[in-house]
Amino acid sequence: MRWAAPRLPYDSRFRPANVTAMNDDRAWVHTAIDALAREAARSADTHLLKINLPGFAGIDFYFKDEASHPTGSLKHRLARSLYLYALCNGRLRKGQPTVDASSGSTAIAEAWFARLLGLRFTAVMPAATAPAKIRAVEALGGACDLVEDPSQVHARAAWHAANGACHLDQFGLAERATDWRGNNNIAESILGQLEHEPHAQPAWIVCGAGTGGTSATIGRYLRYRRLPTQLCVAEPSGSAYVHGFRNRDARACASQPTLIEGIGRPRVEPCFLFDVVDAVIEVPDAASIAATWSLDELLARRYGGSSGTNFVACLELAAQMRARGERGSIVSLLCDRGERYAETLFDPDWLTAHRIDCKPWRAHLDDCVRSGTAPLPGPA
Ligand SMILES: *Cc1c(COP(=O)(O)O)cnc(C)c1O
């Protein structure tokens, strides 16, 4: 079906001399918003996969498969929201290039939406980003501006913005670009999908914090819906979020780097809302990576490292529930596809080079799944 460009509300011939007409630019904004609305209408919701683990009778686990978006990660939702937010704020004009700092998943989704809208897009990324992610951005027509020092990505994106690009600014805007009261945000989607399940109000929802947008949206929505569900942020050991949460300190920095992409930020990002989070669980990188193998066995599909981090935190919370004799459900996210990490997390030589030994963790996690015991602190 052909669709018509939105019509101007009045004919310029009858315009009083002192009123400026809606210009071409505004008509383009309408066309662009229309394109985003139609993309959303064509999209299906992501699956909420259910698994039961032998050691955890009475506790149902659900995983929201955000890898099944067209761009392979939960950042598909964010990218759509960021473009919409830039357009509705009058910050993005016809023909204007776009830019963002990203560890990869957001860049892939933003490049995808830039192509949809006929815009140029540049991703500013750390040079160490998984090569498959860089190739994915380029395949979508995006440009990659790689910086050696990961702490310089924000400054570099600001430089592009100073030269005329629209800064989509995932780290500055994720939390407000997402409509937290609903509009099919991830929290509304999860709770809708749980509606007919035995434990429709989960005991816990578990997610990581990259921009902090997902945790902010879920935390706000749980309150808005007046649910008893608690929110747990699962993070790599020693991340800025871990330290910041402890003392509500927005100046906290990570005490160690992480190999898990998408989460474990080196600094407290502007969209981290500590007040809506009930618990933070720290997960060592080796445990997160080993847990992606457990997920592969349980779901017959490979997911990225942050999904493994979530899984370990789910087991930890489930073991605590089991020890207290509680039943209920725990929901978490499968954040992105494992294929992206074939040359990193899933390459044994790469792991050896980064001094990661997953074997003890794999055996330990298998044990926890069988026996219903807590995975942390785990093997040294
Ligand atoms: C961004 C990201 C996260 C964290 O989500 P936020 O909403 O940005 O906090 C987790 N995992 C992956 C793979 C991501 O790309």
Express each pLDDT in 151-192 by its tens digit: 899 999 999 999 999 999 999 999 999 999 988 899 999 999
How many angstroms separate the alpha carbon of residue 62 from the centre of ligand 1? Answer: 18
Place of tokens 């809606």: 22
Residue-level pLDDT at 249: 96
Handedness of CA 321, 327, 332, 338 (dihedral sign): positive
What SS3 state is found at 6? coil
pLDDT at res. 104: 83
β-sheet bridge partners, residue 60: 329
Reply yes or no on whether the pLDDT at 115 is more than 70.
yes
- Of the candidates 374, 208, 181, 199, the one whose C-alpha atom is nearest the C-alpha of residue 277 is 208
The answer to whether 27 and 53 have CB atoms below 8 angstroms apart is no
Span from the CA of 288 to the centroid of ligand 1 (angstroms): 14
Looking at per-residue pLDDT, the higher value among 252 and 21 belongs to 252
- In angstroms, the Cα distances linking 319 to 28, 278, 311, 370 are 54, 17, 12, 11
Note whether 208 and 309 are within 8 A (CB).
Answer: yes
CA of 264 to the centre of ligand 1 (A): 9
Q: What confidence tens digit (pLDDT) does each residue in 276-330 have?
A: 999 999 999 999 999 999 999 999 999 999 999 999 999 999 999 999 999 999 9
Mean pLDDT of 233-262: 96
* Beta partners for residue 143, in sequence order: 122
Q: Phi then psi for 40, rounded to 5 degrees?
A: -65, -40
The Cβ of residue 95 has, within 10 Å, a number of other Cβ atoms equal to: 9
Between 254 and 20, the more confident residue is 254
Tell me which residue has its CA closest to atom 4 in ligand 1: 210
Apex 39 CA angle, 306 and 207, nearest 5: 20
Tell me, using a 6 A CB cutoff, whether residue 75 lines ligand 1. yes
Please say if the pLDDT value at position 2 is more than 60: no
Ligand 1 closest atom vs CA 103:
15
List the one residue out of 238, 236, 240, 258 whose CA is nearest residue 248: 240
* Nearest-CA residue for atom 11 of ligand 1: 262
> Does ligand 1 lie within 6 Å of residue 210's CB atom?
yes
Instruction: Report the chain's mean pLDDT, rounded to a whole number.
Output: 93
Pocket perturbation via mutation, ligand 1, pick of 74, 231, 239 by most ligand atoms within 8 A of CB: 74
What DSSP assignment string belongs to 142-193? Answer: -EEEEESSGGGHHHHHHHHHHTT-EE--HHHHHHHHS-TT-SS-HHHHHHHH
Atom of ligand 1 nearest to the CA of 209: 9
Residue 17 pLDDT class (50, 70, 90 cuts): low
pLDDT of residue 118: 98
Domains assigned to the chain: 45-69+181-371 (3.40.50.1100), 75-175 (3.40.50.1100)
pTM over 0.95: no
Residue 254 has pLDDT above 90, yes or no: yes
Q: Is the pLDDT of residue 258 over 50?
A: yes
Measured distance CA(144)–CA(121) in Å, rounded = 9
CA 174 to centroid of ligand 1, rounded, Å: 11
Question: In the predicted model, is pLDDT for residue 137 greater than 80?
Answer: yes
Nearest ligand 1 atom to alpha carbon 211: 8
Torsion of CA 247, 248, 254, 258, to 10 degrees: 110
Nearest CA to ligand 1 atom 2: 262
**pLDDT tens column, 24-45:** 789 999 999 999 999 999 999 9
Q: Which region among 98-107, 230-239, 288-297 has the lowest average model confidence (pLDDT)?
A: 98-107
Look at residue 281 and give its three-state secondary structure: strand
- Whose CA is closest to atom 14 on ligand 1? 262
How far CA 86 is from CA of 81, 167, 322, in Å, comes to: 9, 9, 46
Q: What percent of the chain has pLDDT over 70?
A: 94
Which ligand 1 atom sits closest to the C-alpha of 104? 15
